[in-house]
Amino acid sequence: MKSNIIYENFQEIYTKAYIGIPKGYGGLNEPFIGFMDEFVESYPNFAPTIKIPTVLYMHGSGDFVRGDTYRDWIVKDLGFAFICPHSHIIPNRPRYISPAPKNEYKKVHRLRQAEIKYTSKKMRKLPWVDTQKMFLMGNSEGALATGIYQGNEFRARIILAWSCEDGYYSDDTEIGGHTDEPILSIIGTEDEYFGVDSKFAHPKHKIQGHCIEALLEHANSKVVVLPKTKHNLTDNPYTKYEIINFLKFWSRDICEI
């Protein structure tokens, strides 16, 4: 999914990224919650002796909606770092209102792939990021971006509130990476956008509403389907448990796995 589009001030997706740094690293007495440029200005020489496992989070179409909840879980409860590129800060960013023509969705999906590639390169240059324990996680629009990304630089992926299926939203849903890469998928049975009863689903698409079929060849994958749960997965208490324990499990040293 390549694009030759030039986006204005694209670098600001990183300089204005939503971030979180857990306490205890580099002399931090409290977690840092804010933006990347604020952190760099406040802690220009931040280089802890122990590198930090880090989650690259791709927010959904509603910008950072629910991202603050996921950030708190990852930073404050788990003790990992968190970086979320600020997609909506781009002046000429493509947008859509569902239902939309397929081409409008494709423009956004191409952009989100570029964001992952760009931000992951920046992350690998940070002195505090454990490059052997980088995780990719996305919600909704960001979940599709996470699922189809072709790079292999991440230890594991988390796909939230997307069903990994072709449909009104995309015809390019092949899961990226290698088949041994661990993947956690979480979706609700009543997801308004990607569930079996979505009002946007086209009759010609046989929607199952989950990622099971897409991940059959991925031996280290796990699919969690939450009953009576809608698109907002933070409403279900099991979501936090699944995310934290998945990240804990796959952040172990290679010799322990």
Whether residue 172 is predicted with pLDDT greater than 70 in this model: the reply is yes
* pLDDT (0 to 100) of residue 178: 94
Whether residue 228 is predicted with pLDDT greater than 80 in this model: the reply is yes
Whether residue 257 is predicted with pLDDT greater than 70 in this model: the reply is no
* pLDDT (0 to 100) of residue 3: 54
* pLDDT (0 to 100) of residue 2: 53
* pLDDT (0 to 100) of residue 5: 73
Instruction: Average the pLDDT over 206-228 and give the result.
Output: 96
Helices (H), 2-95: 12-15, 36-42, 67-72
Cα 149 to Cα 172: distance, rounded to the nearest angstrom: 11
pLDDT band at 43 (very low <50, low <70, confident <90, very high): very high
Distances from the Cα of 250 to the Cαs of 139, 182, 246, 247, 257, in angstroms?
20, 8, 6, 5, 8
DSSP string, 125-154: H-TTEEEEEEEEEEETHHHHHHHH------
Whether residue 206 is predicted with pLDDT greater than 90 in this model: the reply is no
Residues 110-165: pLDDT tens digits?
Answer: 999 999 999 999 999 999 999 999 999 999 999 999 999 999 999 999 999 999 99
In the structure encoding, which two tokens stand for residue 125, read together? 């240059």
Amino acid at 125: K
* pLDDT (0 to 100) of residue 256: 60
- pTM for the structure as a whole: 0.95
State percent of the chain over pLDDT 70.
Answer: 97
Residue among 200, 90, 79, 63 at smallest CA distance from 130: 79
Residue among 162, 206, 170 at smallest CA distance from 186: 162
Residue 204 or 187, more confident: 187
66: left (phi over 0), alpha (psi -120 to 50) or beta: left
Instruction: Average the pLDDT over 31-39 and give the result.
Output: 98
Whether residue 11 is predicted with pLDDT greater than 60 in this model: the reply is yes
Residues 45-72: pLDDT tens digits?
Answer: 999 999 999 999 999 999 999 999 999 9
User: What domains, with CATH codes, occur in the chain?
Assistant: 12-163+237-252 (3.40.50)
Cα 35 to Cα 55: distance, rounded to the nearest angstrom: 15
- Per the prediction, the chain carries an average pLDDT of 94
